[in-house]
Structure 1
Amino acid sequence: MPTERARPLRADARHNRDRLLDAAAEAFAGEGADASLKGIAKAAGVGIGTLYRRFPTREDLIEATYRNQTAKLCAAAHDLLETSAAAQALRAWMDLFVDYMATKHGMAEALHAVLVRDGELRMRTRDLLTDALATLLAAGVADGTIRSDVEPDVVLMSLGGTTLIAGTPEQSDLTAGLLDLLIDGLTPRATPASIPPAS
């Protein structure tokens, strides 16, 4: 992967790169991996030459978009905890995860080739997402709003299953309901009061 990670970027080049990756994520989520590169460049406000200088091939752009979306999603865990209570932060992060998976599904076939070639990237991504969830769950355990007996990887699998069942925009109400149900399942239950024996 050539130019993309060769050297630190100037501020203007970094800004162009970020806009390209955001535009690519939106295009791939809505149109799939065959989304127009010219359209992506136009949406980012740059010329097609700028796109090709940063990402010489479509595969380069897809991999960079995937890495960027993963990094943003993981960073959001800390950002959300700075402004929201743990349970609310976790629920908001789940919505971001659904958007992230929509981008991933949009470029699924091309991304599969990348991940098959780079198994380390696949494992690293899973580790990063699990760590982000662990941060959110630990905050909820600490303030008493999240159960302490649920592992982050189990929650990650539940989220992945939800997006497979109901991850499209037209299923947004169903998706929200399933995520609310998941949050409810993560909420601690009060211990039932003991019932005195019959006299």
Structure 2
Amino acid sequence: MVVVHRGRLARGTGPRLAGAVRALPAGRPGRHRSDGRFHYRHFPNRADLIIAVYRHQVDACAEAGPALLASGATPHAALRQWIDLFVDFLVTEHGLAAALRSDDAGFDALHAYFIDRLVPVCSELLTTAADAGEIDSGIEAYELMRGVGNLCIGADSDPRYDARRLVGLLVTGLRRPR
């Protein structure tokens, strides 16, 4: 059983996984106890912990899309903000994917969950921006997400590479000329 202790999580755990575990809501399934300073979560094994983190991050990214559309200055601005969140997720996800490599079936199921949850959100953002005349309507959500994902490969291991800057150029390039 993996016990997550917020105060000592970083020992033996990568910093991105540690940060993602801290973001898990307290109401996740499993046994919980708090001693006032720390919150403990019990997972049957490390893979279950990683799956919980991954699902939480996918859900947070999916829920952010409609909220950004409702509160954004423009649909393109909402798309840009969502893509920034997506980049944050992808950089973390690459580390989680590496941790799950030994369980291909589990990884495939998580990837399907990722696609099912996030492609419709990206599609809504793209459609809204296109309907507002801010971007061309010729790009599909999966295509954009795949391109962003490819730009993020290696971003966590090469300090000379700024994936966020390149992704920003890509999103700017979606705009219609004025």
- Which TM bucket (shorter chain)? 0.7 to 0.9
Matched residues in 2 for 1:28 and 1:102: separation?
Answer: 16
RMSD of aligned alpha carbons: 3.6
Counterpart pick for 2:63 among 75, 85, 89: 75
Map of 1:58 onto structure 2: 46
Q: Which consecutive aligned stretches of 4+ in structure 1 deviate over 6 angstroms post-superposition?
A: none
Map of 1:121 onto structure 2: 110
Matched residues in 1 for 2:46 and 2:97: separation?
Answer: 13
Is 1:101 equivalent to 2:93 in the alignment? Answer: no
Name the one with the larger helix percent: 1
Identity %: 29
TM-score by length of 2: 0.73
Shift in Å, 1:159: 0.7
Map of 2:175 onto structure 1: 187
Instruction: Please give the secondary structure, in 2, of the residue aligned with 1:123.
Output: helix
Deviation per CA, 1:120-161, whole angstroms, max 9, x where unpaired?
Answer: 332221122111110110110111112111111110111101
Q: Which has the larger radius of gyration?
A: 1
Q: Mind listing any 5+ residue stretches in structure 1 that lack a counterpart?
A: 1-16, 191-199
Q: How many residues align?
A: 159
Say whether the 8 Å CA contact 2:69–2:125 is kept in structure 1.
yes
Matched residues in 2 for 1:111 and 1:57: separation?
Answer: 12
Matched residues in 2 for 1:145 and 1:28: separation?
Answer: 43
Map of 1:30 onto structure 2: 15
Q: Mind listing any 5+ residue stretches in structure 2 that lack a counterpart?
A: 25-32
Shift in Å, 1:171: 5.5
Name the one with the larger strand percent: 2
TM-score by length of 1: 0.66
